Amino acid sequence: MAITDQERQALIDLANEARKRAYAPYSNYQVGAALRTKSGRIFTGVNVENAAYPHTMCAERVAIFKAVSEGETEFEVIAVATNNGGSPCGGCRQVMAEFGLDTIVLIADGDGHLKKEMTLSELLPEAFTPKHLL
């Protein structure tokens, strides 16, 4: 699957726009995500923190769960934006792996600059996936 520069930047911009709505009163580390499904639909997500820290939800998982709740389970690309271009956490990588290791992951900073682009299989080598349960 190829993604154009314009499509790449549009997803990064959507992730950064979503990031402004993050609820991060404890870490002040706002994260936004924009996920495009194979059908072309786009779902955004933000991190939502909680005073009971383990109950915090990451932006990537919010976007994925929104997509799944709308019947979408085949993903093409996800853009993740943080102020400093931080990478998805291990939990988010595992959730993304559930839906396909060929998903393109775009990591961007708060100024909208692409920092890294890779497939999920590159981001999470030797991932545990549903096929391991057979």
Segment 1-25, tens digit of pLDDT = 689 999 999 999 999 999 999 999 9
Range of the domain at 72: 5-128
Confidence of residue 134 (pLDDT cuts 50, 70, 90): confident
Count other C-beta atoms under 10 Å from residue 98's C-beta. Answer: 14
| Residue 17 lies inside a defined structural domain of this protein | yes
| Residue 66 lies inside a defined structural domain of this protein | yes
| Residue 25 lies inside a defined structural domain of this protein | yes
Segment 70-118, tens digit of pLDDT = 999 999 999 999 999 999 999 999 999 999 999 999 999 999 999 999 9
What CATH code is carried by the domain that includes residue 46?
A: 3.40.140.10
Segment 86-98, tens digit of pLDDT = 999 999 999 999 9
Give, in degrees to the nearest 5, the angle at Cα 117 between 50 and 63.
35
| Residue 80 lies inside a defined structural domain of this protein | yes
Catalytic annotation, residues: 60
| Residue 133 lies inside a defined structural domain of this protein | no
The residue with tokens 């495009």 is: 36
**In contact, 36 and 77? CB cutoff 8 Å:** yes
| Residue 10 lies inside a defined structural domain of this protein | yes
Whether this prediction's pTM lies above 0.85 is answered by yes
Confidence of residue 35 (pLDDT cuts 50, 70, 90): very high
Q: How far apart are CA 71 and CA 84, in angstroms?
A: 32
| Residue 134 lies inside a defined structural domain of this protein | no
User: Which one, of 104, 52, 47, lies nearest residue 75 by Cα?
Assistant: 104
Residue 53 identity: Y
| Residue 9 lies inside a defined structural domain of this protein | yes
